[in-house]
Amino acid sequence: MLPSLTRGRLLAATVAAATAAVVVSNGPVAFAAATGHGHAGHAKSVIFINGDGMSAAHREAARLYLDGLNGQLTMDKLPVSGQLTTSPHDPKATVTDSAAAATAWSTGVKTYNGAIGVDAKGRSLPILGQQAKAAGKSTGLVTTSQVTDASPAAFFAHTTDRARQDDIALQYITKSKPDVILGGGEDWWLPAGTPGAWPDKPAEDTTEESKGTKGNLVKKAQAAGYQYVSDAKGLAHARRGKLLGLFGNEEMFQQQAEGEGDVYRPAVDLATMTRKALDTLSTNKKGFFLMVEEEGIDEFAHHNNGTRVLQAMASLEKAVKVARDYVAAHPDTLLVITGDHDCGGLTVEDAVADDETGTAPSTEDGPFPVKGSDHTFVMDWTTTEHTGADVPVTAVGPLAEQFTGKHPNTHVHDVLARILTRKH
């Protein structure tokens, strides 16, 4: 492990470019066009952003590191805020996983951990991605995880087991048909022994290799009218229309403990993918639904890796800035930012030498510098798993005021459905 001060300086250099893009005005002008909390009749589109594993402590650590003692994250500048509870409906668990949480968002029904778009008895439920498409809207998903991972899948697929990612991919191109699919996970789109743009068994993780069982789904997607791209240059030159971009074998990073092969360096950053998706989806006069996810927060929190969590939070902030700027220019769009659950049981503390009470691996991480000051803080982890802590939700645009107060996570569906199921 690197010495803490060296680690802090290295992290600062890594995310400096990311944070530069997040400096925004606190004044009223920036939100003037977007803060009219109108009713559903004035809303056409939804941008829903998930910081996977992100609760209040992750946001506070990022605020201190990226913006300083008196600063504010872009996601926290939105004019409406509230809280969401996250418990699942699972006979064996009190704390949710991403699949049950995202299914609650997408369907308004609580279910068991591992379920995608199905209720506690395994019965398929109406999902927002398909409902938006039926209402004539364009749809899309952007993630730094596999595009077939639990959170995006719950909006566009049905399965009793989130692990069936090749079946989820097949459902995307044959049933729910999102117009834009951008993220990682090429391994699930190709059969074993058929490496694609991303070679099997890469040096950084030799366990990654093509593993699909549904045939060559990249070719099937292309036959269905999707452009396929696999790198930043291809994405930049992709024309508007149905778009599939897979930028890694699995996740777009290596989620390991600190100093053990951990890497956060996506081939295409989340903000760039978000910008491309918005450029494509916004051509539909009937509106669109875009789901955006930063997965690195959760994956690195599982390893109690504060350095990489802060990098992932910086990535999310850049994407939020892109979305907020879009909404400011398009006041008929609702922007919602939240997390599916807490991961790591994180607290933010002063760097006090004799205050460590945890045991490995869940101990204090840091110290990290507070931007613009001589202060530092530590990230103190209590678990490598999810917790049942509430998650903050912030919003701007039509119906944003519906997120004021404390609600179950199914409330997300109730609000979004008022926009996405309405035909214009």
230 annotated active-site: no
Beta-sheet pairing, 243-246 with 227-229: parallel
Residue of 216, 144, 134, 142 whose CA lies nearest to 177: 134
Q: Which of 4, 45, 55, 98 is catalytic?
A: 98
C-alpha angle 204-205-210 in degrees, rounded to nearest 5: 125
Tell me whether strands 180-184 and 376-380 are parallel, antiparallel or unpaired: unpaired
Q: 45: which 2 tokens?
A: 């589109």
Rounded to 5 degrees, φ, ψ at 20 are: -60, -30
149 assigned to a ligand binding site = yes
- Residues 367/8, Cβ–Cβ less than 8 Å: yes
340 labelled binding-site residue: yes
d(CA 358, CA 381): 8
- Any known ligand binding at 386? yes
| 374 is known to lie in a ligand binding site | no
Residue 351, SS3 per DSSP: coil
298 is in an annotated binding site: yes
334, 47 Cβ separation under 8 angstroms: yes
The DSSP bridge pattern shows strands 364-369 and 227-229 to be unpaired
Collapsed DSSP state (helix, strand, coil) of residue 38:
coil
Nearest CA to 96 among 83, 87, 106? 87
3-state secondary structure of 118: strand
177 neighbors 241 (Cβ within 8 angstroms): no
Is 330 annotated as belonging to a binding site?
no
**Residue 179 assigned as binding residue:** no
Is 375 annotated in some ligand binding site? no
Determine whether the annotation assigns residue 151 to a binding site.
Answer: yes
Binding residues for Zn(2+): 52, 298, 302, 340-341, 386
Active site residues: 98
Binding residues for Mg(2+): 52, 149, 151, 293
Binding residues: 52, 149, 151, 293, 298, 302, 340-341, 386
